Amino acid sequence: MKNWLYFTLFFALHFSCSEKKVISLEELTIAEIHQAYTEGDYNAEELVQAYLDRIQSKDSAINSISEINPQALEDARKLDNEFAQTGKLRPLHGIPVIVKDNINTLGLPTTAGALALADFFPESDAFIIQKLKEAGAIVLAKSNMAEWAFSPMHSESSTKGTTHNPYNLEHVPAGSSGGTGAAVAANLGTVGLGTDTGNSIRGPSSHNSLVGFRTTLGLISREGIVPLYLRNDVVGPMCRTVEDATRMLDVIAGYDAKDPITRHSEGKIPTSYTAFLKKDGLENARIGVFRTLSENDPNPEISALFNQALKDMEGLGAVIVDSVEVANFQELRQNQWCASFRQDLEDFLATYVKRDTVSTLEDVIRIGTKSDYTRSRIDLFLTNEGRWEESEIPCGDAFTDLRRIAFREAIEHVMDSLNLDALVYPSWNHPAARIDHFQEEYKGDNSQIIAPHTGQPAFTVPMGFVSGNLPAGLQFLGRMFDEPKLIQLVYGFEQGTHHRKAPH
């Protein structure tokens, strides 16, 4: 009897010590992780291992991750040792981040999904990756993307293939940051980074029931990021909650001498954006309904969600100002796009890649692509530079280009005259397209139309689901550098509606 008790106790102790600690990763937030670290429930190394196990078990169907960081566990161990010694957590201490594969990350390839960069390992981190690491974040993995960030529709690369929407694998996650969107939505990492030239943070965030911040052009450095059109490009958070996105923004916003446009942010950044996380953030807010976009051939289910969102905001204390119109809107939105890909890419290649064999757009074409869509886009850039229409009009950034300034001033004039805090419209008027039909079913992308040209911040937040378990997003457009107000509004909406749910 004694022997039986001894062996029972021995095996119970042996297996309880050797088993991996079970960590519930679903919808895990930064605050919850930090509470767990403080209370000793688990540490950063155990959390990273749990995410790596989840990627291994879940990502084969989604195909969102392009490269695992081989240093992630070691980075976590160092942070655990630091916490053990200091008892203090940095702002993003031990938080695993999914990084889009066009952002320079030391020790990992930065491919932009292209064969021409398949073996490019940058010599240093991009500015924002440095900032994240200084705050204690762990780069868990790089994410798949639309090759060269060309496609807002889908996320297909020559290096990794096609990413699927975790809510419905037959559908796209949008592009170009579809890998980040799908990975964060599927709880393969805590938070994510995307880039947005026209749609690529807000589109995938909307299609994956995430919060996506396209911030004011000039608030966050783009140094060390493979460009599409640098005059439009921003980088920003893609997260499951407004609070997590705000915590990331606190870390990455600010001036960088290597990205001169960020000088416009000086003096316009609060001590902490988290001060604007107010549950009653919609109380007495004046919200303008921009039906010029929302009523442009919408899917009936998206339209119903949008109109319900307006009622919800009113119920949360907002004043809804319906049918806001911008004078000459259709004329002002024209001729805004400029084809600067060749110049911007060749500058990146010269600065970071530094290879004679990969220094021009012609080199990229010679090396090739597996994607028909990418091939068609590159052909366009061979024969087009400058403004797509009326090429005699100079192209500039949001602070110098006269067409961009005029567009922004017209929108701000209406917002000022009606004392509006934001304009709202669906991020997409239609649900995610099927992967096999993405070009014909690509409809209703509202993210491309205003913010990329005016430079204004535009945030998307989950608005609900339509048939096929496909998410939809609500977009808030604000004034330049008015991220505090947008955070207040989207947090109020999120906390009052709780539309976000994980894919199953």
155 among known catalytic residues: no
Residue 321, strand partner residues: 288
427 among known catalytic residues: no
Q: How many other CB atoms are there within 10 angstroms of residue 344's CB atom?
A: 17
Q: How many other CB atoms are there within 10 angstroms of residue 127's CB atom?
A: 25
* Run of H or E residues at 487: helix 483-497
Report the distance separating Cα 232 and Cα 243, nearest Å.
26
Could you tell me the end-to-end alpha-carbon distance of the chain, in angstroms, rounded to an integer? 48
Q: Pinpoint the alpha helices (H) of 178-320.
A: 178-185, 202-207, 242-252, 291-294, 300-315
Q: How many other CB atoms are there within 10 angstroms of residue 342's CB atom?
A: 17
Helix and strand counts by DSSP (H, E) for the chain: 17, 15
Coil, strand, or helix at residue 160? coil
Q: What share of the chain is helix, strand, coil (3-state, %, to 5)?
A: 40, 15, 45
Catalytic residue among 151, 200, 340, 447: 200
Q: Pinpoint the alpha helices (H) of 87-139.
A: 127-134
Catalytic residue among 58, 64, 66, 100: 100
Catalytic residue among 64, 143, 155, 176: 176
Give how far Cα 217 sits from Cα of 197, 229, 232, 424, 451, Å: 10, 12, 7, 19, 9
176 among known catalytic residues: yes
- Catalytic sites, residue numbers: 100, 176, 200
